[in-house]
Homo-oligomer: A and B are copies of this chain.
């Protein structure tokens, strides 16, 4: 009646999941729709930066050779023959003693090789014409940025796999990426199991609770950059549930179920996996919460059987689903980021399984500290909302106040591989 399960280490479980990685697929989206998507191609410079030799300041473009005798006692006089703003190109080529009024960012007129700042000259009018006096010698290149000095055309700026942030958006626009190649969002079906579950809009009934995991999981999935598809709840009937899952699997890339993976009599998932002929990669992991996490593979699709306990469900998703999604985006940091921090709590114990305790980490004086939350019952319910990290307490260890502990960040920038 009671099935025996062999628990495996977290790192082994993650490796088994990552072996299910799917072929990456990309699509083009408009630049205005690409926030937070993952680049499916490197960003290349489509032109030199600066694209042309230009002025760094508001001032006058001149030939440096004409300034070589200028000094406070004997200023040189220049005639202003044209004015150009940014975006316009000078029509004239200044000769000896001639200057062109130039704005910041405008292309340096042919013949000139330096710019004197507006504030550093004395302007005057004579017979309706515009002149200035210069009291200093200028070197060639002064206040000038040369074409390509920052970056040459064709250079690779950002590697594919990066999430598109405002800073990356700036580069995409600069280099003309009106349409951006990004990875397609995997479609991830979410099914809740448990006859005790009500939908969020239903009033409470005796013995029942509302389905909160589906909404939490959908929110996590969106944050990971994939597309959640809420597929409701399983009915308490093996054949109907099997048929429903079989049908849904046609339209999704991965399936997440919450609940129904324990060894209780009413837990359907193990039987459904068997009926599907799915290959169960593992059904017990040496971790708390989430020890009953199950992952199976069916026709190349990952089936994640997460615990119905909200904390266990949350953790299972971050440990196992996140890296599979992010690796399919070529992201080099698919796992939760791991840091070290000083523990602010007397004692955290564990047994043969590694514990992952919800925590709040923060910086003080350049050091990181972490405080467990949700250990007492009164905070258990809101601890998932307050936590920004998971404190790792390795198997068979006790962590004491002021110990250095390892912490996984829920909002961090990810890591290559946090597991020992």
Contact = CB atoms under 8 A, between A and B. Distances in A.
A216 B173 contact: yes
A158 B386 CA distance: 9
A382 B222 contact: no
Chain copies in complex: 2
Interface residues of A, number: 107
B157 A385 contact: yes
A206 interface: yes
Given A200-B178, A339-B366, A368-B363, A219 B169 contact: yes
Identify which of A162, A169, A176, A365 gathers the most chain B CB atoms within 10 Å of its CB: A169
A340 B366 contact: yes
Contacts of A119: 2
Contacts of A202: 176
Nearest to A377: B150
Given A213-B170, A219-B166, A47 B377 contact: no
A126 to B, nearest CB: 17
Contact of A31 (B35, B103, B200, B378): B200
Contact of A377 (B149, B169, B210): B149
Interface of A: 1-2, 31-32, 35, 45-47, 49-52, 58, 83, 85-89, 101, 103-107, 118-119, 123, 149-151, 157-158, 162, 164-178, 194-197, 200-204, 206-220, 222-223, 230, 236, 262-266, 308, 310, 314, 339-342, 363, 365-368, 377-378, 380-382, 384-388, 404, 411, 413
